[in-house]
């Protein structure tokens, strides 16, 4: 087949979808070498990014705006290049094209917790995501939980939804024992001696306010600080107001974004990874933490139970008491911690980008 890959998002901010794309493209080109690929960018400066692959052609189509690019530019180039399939690692597709279409749905939070989105975002997602799901010939859901959500909320045919788990890099994410490397990373980010780690974009969906309240309940029973690593979004101020009201300023630390290559050391330094999100479509940090030997407390809703599969401590993300009880139990019970660490390292082996790429190619083959 000749497969077009939509890469408008390739130059956007670093994040889960871009990591997904950059990890999978080289594997797809290699394992699916029988196909030819046309990479479609919006920015001409990106042409040549994958020039080393003989089965890859790259083009840039300049058209301002996201919707015109998706719905006019991509179908035009698809017809010109006689594409058999258009694939988008993100969640849009052109509606009117002779080529078959497929995309990746990284979450279903817009339908599960719509109150955590701005009104205009709710409008967009409620109209367009169902259209993408219905018009596509197939699409990937990053977990069985996401598939169940879209079947329930959109009524899409479950036979066209393929659950394929994300992966991670096991050569990078593994326990760090090198004392000098650990010391350097601790110094670089000014990390406390004992800490509970949370990382991501600080916003309401991530449930940071309840995490802060839960930490306030146990702060006198443990010596740890709470480290909140990540970017602050539009809803941050409301979330972090809890910190002042609970007088936690001296026990909560914000290092900002952690460089990707430093994350294994940070996970290894932490005594606990607390991630009680209101919603996770998959949760790559969960497998990264497990692979690095950091025990995990996470939500008992959406994808985390599927990802953890008995290797972490699950809590009700709406219950401050449940979150605090879980964190305290894991921090203070050495035998429980040791068991969770061993199970987590083993569970992380079930996920890989290689496996993800091969499963994606198998879906391509169903559309041939």
pLDDT in the model for residue 237: 66
Dist CA 354 CA 16 (whole Å): 17
**Which two three-digit tokens encode residue 164?**
């394929």
**Which two three-digit tokens encode residue 176?**
């760090």
Contacts of 51 (CB under 8 A, 6+ apart): 58
pLDDT in the model for residue 242: 78
Specify the DSSP class assigned to residue 202: B
CATH level 3 topology of 179-348? Rossmann fold (3.40.50)
Measure Cα distances from 149 to 155, 173, 258, 298 in Å: 9, 30, 32, 19
| The CATH homologous superfamily of the domain defined by 2-167+353-366 | Glycogen Phosphorylase B; (3.40.50.2000)
**Which CB contacts under 8 angstroms, 24+ apart, belong to 186-192?**
186/265, 186/269, 188/262, 189/229, 189/255, 189/258, 189/262, 189/266, 190/253, 190/255, 191/227, 191/253, 191/255, 191/266, 191/269, 192/224, 192/225, 192/227, 192/253
Dist CA 132 CA 6 (whole Å): 14
Contacts of 301 (CB under 8 A, 6+ apart): 278, 279, 316, 317
pLDDT in the model for residue 121: 83
pLDDT in the model for residue 243: 81
Dist CA 194 CA 173 (whole Å): 21
Residue 52 falls in which region: left (phi positive, over 0), alpha (psi -120 to 50) or beta: alpha
Half-sphere exposure of 222 (CA within 13 A, CB side): 25
Dist CA 147 CA 161 (whole Å): 7
Domain limits, CATH 3.40.50.2000, in the chain: 2-167+353-366, 179-348
Specify the DSSP class assigned to residue 100: E
Query: How high is the mean pLDDT in each 10-residue block of the chain (368 residues)?
Result: 95 75 96 97 95 97 90 96 97 94 94 85 88 95 96 94 96 97 98 96 87 96 95 64 84 91 97 97 95 98 97 98 98 97 98 97 94
* pTM confidence score: 0.91
């Amino acid at each position: 087949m000749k497969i077009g890959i939509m890469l408008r998002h390739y130059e956007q901010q670093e994040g889960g979808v871009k990591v997904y794309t950059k990890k999978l493209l080289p594997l797809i080109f290699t394992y699916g070498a029988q196909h030819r690929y046309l990479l479609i960018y919006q920015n001409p400066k990106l042409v040549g990014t994958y020039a080393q692959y003989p089965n890859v052609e790259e083009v840039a189509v300049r058209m301002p705006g996201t919707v015109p690019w998706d719905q006019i530019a991509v179908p035009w180039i698809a017809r010109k290049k006689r594409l058999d399939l258009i694939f988008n690692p993100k969640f849009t597709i052109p509606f009117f094209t002779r080529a078959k279409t497929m995309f990746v749905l990284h979450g279903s939070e817009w339908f599960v917790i719509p109150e955590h989105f701005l009104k205009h975002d709710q409008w967009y997602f409620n109209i367009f995501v169902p259209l993408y799901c219905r018009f596509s010939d197939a699409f990937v859901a990053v977990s069985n939980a996401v598939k169940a959500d879209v079947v329930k909320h959109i009524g899409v045919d479950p036979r066209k939804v393929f659950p394929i788990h994300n992966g991670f890099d096991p050569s990078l994410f593994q326990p760090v024992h090198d004392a000098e490397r650990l010391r350097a990373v601790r110094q670089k980010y000014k990390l406390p001696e004992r800490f509970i780690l949370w990382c991501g974009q600080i916003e309401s969906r991530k449930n940071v306010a309840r995490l802060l309240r839960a930490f306030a309940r146990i702060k006198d029973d443990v010596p740890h600080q709470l480290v909140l690593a990540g970017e602050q979004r539009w809803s941050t101020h409301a979330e972090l107001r809890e910190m002042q009201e609970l007088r936690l300023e001296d026990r909560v630390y914000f290092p900002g974004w952690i460089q990707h290559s430093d994350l294994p050391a940070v996970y290894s330094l932490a005594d606990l990874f607390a991630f009680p999100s209101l919603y996770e479509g998959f949760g790559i940090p969960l497998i990264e933490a497990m692979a690095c030997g950091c025990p995990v407390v996470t939500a008992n809703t959406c994808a985390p139970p599927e990802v953890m599969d008995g290797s972490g401590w699950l809590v009700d993300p709406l219950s401050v008491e449940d979150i605090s009880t879980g964190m305290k139990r894991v921090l203070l019970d050495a035998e429980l911690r040791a068991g969770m660490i061993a199970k987590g390292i083993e569970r992380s082996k079930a996920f890989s980008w290689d496996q993800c790429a091969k499963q994606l190619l198998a879906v391509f083959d169903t559309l041939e």
